[in-house]
Structure 1
Amino acid sequence: MLRSLWTAASGMSGQQFNIDTISNNLANVNTSGYKKNRVDFEDLLYQTVRFAGTPVTAGAQIPVGIEVGHGVRPVATQKIFTPGSFKQTDNPLDLAIEGDGFFQILLPDGTIAYTRDGAFKRDGQGRVVTSDGFALEPEIIIPEDAVEVTVGSDGTVSVLLPGDNATQAVGQIDLVRFVNPAGLSSMGRNLFQETQASGFPMVGTPGLDGFGGLAQGWLEMSNVQVVEEMVNLIIAQRAYETNSRAIQASDEMLQTANNLRR
């Protein structure tokens, strides 16, 4: 059997995976805080027919060997943490991180998740929560009679109460960052989870020690560029078609061999 059948099949499978990833990027073009994925490929095992450097005569060696590859496979899907564009909302609980860092989110099981999506709301208890109802960590409670909420670039949350002339602080938003944010595990719901590859979370104050500052009334949008993804989609589609042509050519070669007569 021609090895090209399996080689081209691995190419079709890899490009299908690539198109699946591109489709997910395009589907999340309007998702706040979304970071696009990129597929990395690697070539497969090589069959060495003749080794380079093999001596042929006294003082002479083969300069170049003969190797035949066996295809390709996806080896990684990497999150690209370039900043997305900012959108002004004028909502006091919409927060964008201007630089490095993640918000901390407390999950129902007590673990901490991380997000760049700063579209926060207030629940029935006045807690600042995500759209799924998960509380911001550390917990911040906005008094029910607060007439104004202010979030400073350093994460200080202040409120203005009826009858007061000055605001009072009710909490502090901390950010975290990782040595390798691309190693975070995507959980869905705009959340990431720590892994051994990401390293341990480093907690800090917004605007200090390399952490980004907070912008109130703004949201960070997806960093997906539609034109770029459409170009990648065309390239993947053409690569898929080319590999299918290789399978078709191999099939025709086998058919020719089967039709030989003595």
Structure 2
Amino acid sequence: MDKLIYTAMTGAKHTALRQDIVANNLANLSTNGFRAEMAAFRTAPLVGPGLPTRAYAVESTPGADLSVGALQQTGRELDIAVQGRGWLAVQAANGQERYTRNGHLVVNNEGVLATANGQVLLGEAGPIAIPADQQISIADEGTVTATPLTGAKNNAVVLGRLKLVNPDDQQLQRMPDGLFQLRSGQAADADRAVRIASGYLESSNVNAVDQLVQMISAARQFETNLKLIQLAQQNSQKGDQLLAQTG
């Protein structure tokens, strides 16, 4: 009887974790460049004395859906979207290099190009400083150019080139902050074949209908596991009653 209770209990616990993952995906339905997190159940055997027949359910996150989202035109000069495969390199809060598809850019308080979430955008030579009173344009290969708002318009200055990378999907892992990094922890090499579209943003690749179906399915699985726990409890009570009568 304890086998049924333990299996149902772990099933309920990890089904609740799946609901959290699906809820996070739905919450990021409108987050630019967001990649939906995938989840899967697996069975793991218990190891130890007297436990060879017991197994428990485990919810795992094997990765993320890395399919490309739709491009939406904004006309804003500091909005960029990676065309096809590739990533923008940014500096995370811990100083490590990580990768994103969210190209909604701003100039932060330090005067460098950054994402709207606060991560400093990296160029091939490091962060890109943006001078004041300049019109910024970003070419499709990632070159950032500044043109004076006053005076001669032909005095354009190249400020740097964005670091665009395109590692193999199997080398990437999602981090808790939603950014990606190489599983090795190293920085990826720049790939000059990656192209961007200026004046566009990439939408989230979350499929709302699919996620809602998964949410309903997870809720039903959770209810089923709770019913199995209740059934095991009822069976145990019945067994105790029979033993009391025969005793």
Which TM-score bucket, shorter chain as reference? 0.7 to 0.9
Greater helix content = 2
Give 2:105's match in structure 1, choosing from 101, 115, 120.
120
- Shift of residue 233 of structure 1? 0.5
Kindly tell me: are residues 247 and 182 of structure 1, through their superposed partners in 2, closer, same or farther at Cα, counting changes over 3 Å? Answer: farther
1:236 corresponding residue in structure 2:
218
SS, match of residue 71 in structure 1: strand
| Partners of 1:88 and 1:215 in 2: CA distance | 9
How many residue pairs were aligned? 235
Any idea what the Cα deviations from partners look like across 1:18-55, whole Å, max 9, x if unmatched?
111111111111111211111122112289xxxxxxxx
Any idea what the Cα deviations from partners look like across 1:192-223, whole Å, max 9, x if unmatched?
33332x77613111xx2xx3x10111111211
Gaps of 5+ in 2: none
Give 1:226's match in structure 2, choosing from 189, 204, 208.
208
Letter of the 1:159 partner, please give it.
A
* Aligned residue runs from structure 1 range 112-151, under 5 A: 112-124=97-109, 126-138=111-123, 139-146=127-134, 148-151=135-138
- Shift of residue 115 of structure 1? 1.4
Kindly tell me: are residues 194 and 164 of structure 1, through their superposed partners in 2, closer, same or farther at Cα, counting changes over 3 Å? Answer: same
Any idea what the Cα deviations from partners look like across 1:43-100, whole Å, max 9, x if unmatched?
12289xxxxxxxxxxxxxxxxxxx9662321233421111122222211011111112
1:255 aligns with 2:237: yes
1:7 corresponding residue in structure 2:
7
SS, match of residue 184 in structure 1: strand
* Aligned residue runs from structure 1 range 11-30, under 5 A: 11-30=11-30
Q: Structure 2 length as normaliser, TM-score?
A: 0.84
Q: Percent identity?
A: 27
Deviating 4+ runs (over 6 angstroms) = none
Deviates more, 1:27-36 or 1:170-179: 170-179
SS, match of residue 145 in structure 2: strand
| Partners of 1:11 and 1:109 in 2: CA distance | 35
Gaps of 5+ in 1: 48-66
Contact 1:178 1:200 (8 Å CA) reproduced: no
Q: Structure 1 length as normaliser, TM-score?
A: 0.79
Contact 2:171 2:182 (8 Å CA) reproduced: no
| Partners of 1:141 and 1:70 in 2: CA distance | 56
Letter of the 2:87 partner, please give it.
F
1:111 aligns with 2:88: no
